[in-house]
Amino acid sequence: MLKAVKIRLYPNMEQSKQINQLLGCYRVVYNQCLNRKINSWKENQISENRTTLSHFFHHELIQKEEFPWLKEQNSKVLKQSIIDMLNAYQHFFKEHKGFPKFKSKKDNKQSCRFEIGAISKRNNYENRKLSLANIKDIKFRCSEKYINYLTKNKEGIKSATLSKLPCGQYYLSILIDGDLLKQVQQSQNTVGIDLGIKDFITTSEGETFENKHFKKSVSGRLKRLQRQLSRKQKGSNNRNKARLKLAKLYKKINDSKLNYLHKVTNTLINENQVICIEDLNVKGMVKNHRLAESISEMNFGEFVRILEYKANWYGRVVVKVDRFYPSSKTCNHCGYIKKDLKLSERQWVCPVCGEIIDRDYNAACNIKDEGMRIIGSSTTEFTLVDYPTMDDKVITPLKSSDRLKQENHNEQMSEFVQV
């Protein structure tokens, strides 16, 4: 089981200088190889691969008088930047994540990756020191649980990623192929969860997890630090000090948010075997300027990502319900759909059965029922009035506007071809 252990590094002045030089060299190799790949395709229609770029690195780039300091660094580490650049290309073509960009020393986060050959096998993690490539005996700090895990699975270390944050702190994420950190008992419970803004999560069991508003709680301090930063002269030491204060506050907010997400996901994973959740379109939701800040603050996408990989670790099942399923508009008692339900209506009365319905709790119950139906073990005793079952081949299922436009376009093109 692959797991990443993140530890904080505490380098001294000399080690910090070595790390910054390594990050700079890593960035230069990445940019030079990206520039070569772009120009080779533009000029000669040649697609550079890992073999040709490695040849360019060893026989041209390092030999240039313009970059004599590249020879001082570990070549195994610098060549990892070539792999990172090629991976960025793959993400662009396959996942459409944007064309690879040139790296700058002004980027918010600087990082480099160490393969197993660049991580010293003599590292004794019990003494809280480690060596990476040419950088020796860097002090680090983490929990006792992680120390024991590193010591136990020392032979399973695959790689490590060194990161420098905008606040000036250094972190190392070590990828380990080892056992799980803890054992979770099997459970027969099933739960549906509804993500929202008023309450972060409402479950089908009636439990709620509050929206903490980590950023809003320190909004006054954020404005004050941003105002101070804007008044400082660019390039001055005082501006850099103000930037560090602001970056540390943002890191504190993100750490608090991430800690809360881990607590919530741990609770859901420990208590339930099947977790049903709605497949939300977060990118589309944040286009609503009135709700964008609240939606972004709770990181719905990060919550789902954490929940999925923890479910994979501990043998849980996460079922995603289609985003067009009317979970909030459907009465969980009789199946009636209130088509004119507004976002501001937190409660409504079903005109068929007379049930007083809480919007979020009702949505969580419907998501649970639909999730169980998807995996073939639904226990619902009714058929929805206006929403067809997946087996009904007569009624057309719900579709998005973009999908309908594409299908209409395809029909027009087929008619044009026939003519």
Annotation marks residue 392 as catalytic:
no
Q: Distance between CA atoms of 143 and 146, rounded to whole angstroms? A: 5
**207 classed as catalytic:** no
CA distances 42 to 45, 47, 148, 301, 306, Å, are 6, 10, 52, 37, 40
* CA–CA separation, 333 and 132 (whole Å): 61
Contact yes or no for 40/47 (Cβ under 8 A): yes
Choice among 194, 297, 369, 370 that is catalytic:
194
Pick the catalytic residue from 84, 278, 297, 369: 278
Query: Are 369 and 378 in contact, with CB atoms under 8 Å apart?
Result: yes
- Number of residues that this document lists for the chain: 419
Distant-in-sequence, close-in-space partners of 177: CB < 8 Å, separation ≥ 6? 1, 2, 153, 156, 158
48, 84, 297, 360: which is the annotated catalytic residue? Answer: 360
Helix 80-94 vs helix 13-44: angle between axes, to the nearest 10 degrees?
50
Based on C-alpha coordinates, what's the Rg of the chain? 27
Residue 360 annotated in active site:
yes
Helix/strand/coil (H/E/C) assignment for every residue in 29-68: HHHHHHHHHHHHHHHHCCCCCHHHHHHHHHHHHCCCCCCH
**What are φ and ψ of residue 77, in 5° steps?**
-75, -45
The strand ranges marked E within 26-167 are 110-115, 129-132, 135-141, 157-164
Question: What phi and psi, each to the nearest 5 degrees, are found at residue 303?
Answer: -60, -45
Cα(52)–Cα(40) distance, integer angstroms: 11
CA atoms in the 13 A half-sphere facing the CB of 319: 24
Instruction: Determine the Cα–Cα distance for residues 317 and 275; give it in Å rounded to an integer.
Output: 6
Token digits for 186?
């099997």
Asked if residue 82 lies in contact with residue 54, where contact means CB atoms within 8 angstroms, the answer is yes
* Positions marked catalytic: 194, 278, 360
